Structure 1
Amino acid sequence: MKSVTEYKEYREYVLDYYRERKRCSAFTWREFAKLAGFASGSYLKLVCDGKTRLREEGAKKTGLAMGLLGYELDYFVLLVRYESAKTEQEKKKCFEEMQALGEVNRVRILGSEMYTYYETWKHSVVRELAVAMPGAKPIEIAKVCKPAISAADVSESLRFLVKSGLLKRDIKGNYHQTNASLSTGNLNVVAVAVHSQLRQMGELALEALDKLPISERHFSGITMGMTDECYKKVVEELAECRKRIVSIVSANKSIEKVCRLNMQLFPLTENIHGRAVAPNAQNSYGPQK
């Protein structure tokens, strides 16, 4: 059975533990619950079915019942705390504690590299510039960033990107991307960092709106009435558009600058019940003049 540090959800680990014990013996949910000190024999099954959840004290008892000790027990409790966290800041704190456990105990935490990558906009920009500027020193890369960042930030980012396998360096010292594009996959922990990066990119967009001339930026938008079904279709269209844009960029073998495209669709009102609104009522604006 895999180490608990290779899991991203505590329910998945508990269920795998149960199945492994069941495979080798007549282990039951009732016996499992009794070992963990729960009065209800079906409690842990309900947890794994998603019908209830563990609390922190229950997490410790369940972890001990599964033979977890030391940092593995701490990690399991953090998985439970992460799922129960009500805010992104709480989730971020939990995952950073998981990362710290991994560093101290020299174990890999699933999603750790991608979490760090998406936590700041700098890594994605440096990853592109390092390839586009062969032989460039960190200070040269730093100066072309908007906003400008320090050479130390670039050096730190390059070390991280190489260590995490997102960049590789050849014998001449030039950098190459190991994959042309990246995906967040289905890791819940990464989503918190992605939200952080989206906020940062939104702030950079506002700066670009104020500071860059029209010839160097493109801003447009539409305010429109929609049904839920229409919303789903527009989301699908945006996903297809994004794929087509990635294909266009991937086919382009040279880079002159690094750009960011934000795609945003969000409600400006609550859902309107019991009243029909003309679906074609729109207020649009094209590229700002």
Structure 2
Amino acid sequence: MMKSIVEYKDYRQYIQDYYDERKRSSAFTWREFAKIAGFASGSYLKLVCDGKTRLREEGAKKTALAMGMLGFEYDYFVLMVRYENAKTEQQKKKCFEEMQALSEAHHVKILGSDLYTFYETWKHSVVRELAVAMPGAKPHEIAKACRPAISAADVSASLNFLLKAGLLTRDIKGNYHQTNRSLSTGRLNVVAVAVHSLLRQMGEFALDALDKLPISERHFSGITMGVTAESYAKVVEELAACRKRIVSIVSADKKIEKVCRLNMQLFPLTENLNCDPTDLGKGV
């Protein structure tokens, strides 16, 4: 029995699971599948599932009909394809919000939608920390502790969301507790769009901190370095390990004094030099 379509974020995986389900109970083939969907190539949908090509809008609609989809499921599948093909974060965000609205209208919860909402704004992550660090504090008190300051209404809305999403709990005394000390986006592709938005916000805050905070309250450093593909991969691994060690350090704290943000950034400042010099600057 296949999972509900809203448990999928990868339309290729959904097609593969549909094929495997049909194959288990019949002599169903990729050629037959493609023929039902109206594709000239008998191997087309197999190539789609292998990541060697992709569905476009019309192909998505034909494939959905070939899998017997109607109504809500048909629309959701087409939106999954549209999401995958979107070229900008704004387009992806719009597609996911349409998927959310579609699922809510049919009283179905999208896997990962709470994490998407959580990472869409910096406020939720900060309020989640402050609510625990300031037992008994009112929303306006938590709001004043934020930098930059936010409204009490923003804090109340965030607290309600965090409770509803299960990211915070509240005891009989009204104090908040985190269900998990740290969160991870895992491999939810759809969450990555919201994370990009959060990283952009946090990057802007870092620029403000560079100008407005004394050196004693901030730590900025960087390295400009030449690398190979091999050393680059090793640096990425080292950063990931460092991040895990830092999470372990702060998770051991029983009580916090302030909420801080650590940005880790690694990006190229030049073109790839291991190529024909005449190609540099041509966007090759």
TM range (shorter): over 0.9
The amino acid that maps onto 1:221 is G
Q: Secondary structure at the match of 1:222?
A: coil
Q: Please provide the CA RMSD for this pair.
A: 1.3
CA distance in 2, matches of 1:167, 1:216: 29
| 1:271 counterpart residue number | 272
Structure 2 partner of 1:146? 147
Tell me the equivalent position of 1:24: 25
Partner of 1:177: 178
Other-structure match for 2:16: 15
Structure 1's unaligned 5+ residue stretches are 276-289
Listed one character per residue, the Cα deviations across residues 11-66 of structure 1 (whole Å, up to 9, x for unaligned) are 10011111111111121222212221222222211211212111111111111111
Percent identity for Structure 1 against Structure 2: 83
Q: What are the equivalent positions in structure 2 for 1:38-77 lying under 5 Å apart?
A: 38-77=39-78
Residue number in structure 2 paired with 1:110: 111
Instruction: Quote how far apart the aligned CAs of 1:274 are.
Output: 6.5
Alpha-carbon distance change, 227 to 42 in structure 1, aligned in 2, over 3 angstroms: closer
Runs of 5+ in structure 2 lacking a partner? 277-284
Aligned to 2:3: 2
Counterpart amino acid of residue 204 in structure 2? E
Q: Which residue of 2 aligns with 1:128?
A: 129
Q: Secondary structure at the match of 1:225?
A: coil
Aligned residues: 275
Could you say which residue in structure 1 is the equivalent of 2:238?
237
Q: State the TM-score, normalizing by the size of structure 2.
A: 0.94
In the alignment, the residues of structure 2 paired with residue 129 and residue 190 of structure 1 have an alpha-carbon distance, to the nearest angstrom, of 23
CA deviation map 1:216-240 (0-9, x unaligned): 1111112122222222222222112
Query: For the residues of structure 2 that align with 1:142 and 1:85, how far apart are their CA atoms?
Result: 36
Match of 1:222 in 2: 223
Shift of 1:200: 0.2
Q: Which runs of 4+ in 1 moved over 3 A?
A: none
Give the whole-Å Cα distance in 1 for the aligned partners of 2:130 and 2:179.
14
Distance of 2:53 and 2:225 partners within structure 1: 40
User: 1:211 — aligned with what?
Assistant: 212
Distance 1:73 1:249 in 2: 46
Distance (whole Å) between structure 1 residues aligned to residue 176 and residue 61 of structure 2: 45
Report the CA distance between 1:10 and its aligned residue.
0.3
CA distance in 2, matches of 1:172, 1:99: 34
> Please, which moves more after superposition, 136-145 or 31-40?
31-40
Q: Which residue of 1 aligns with 2:199?
A: 198
TM-score by length of 1: 0.92
Instruction: Give the drift of 1:165.
Output: 0.9
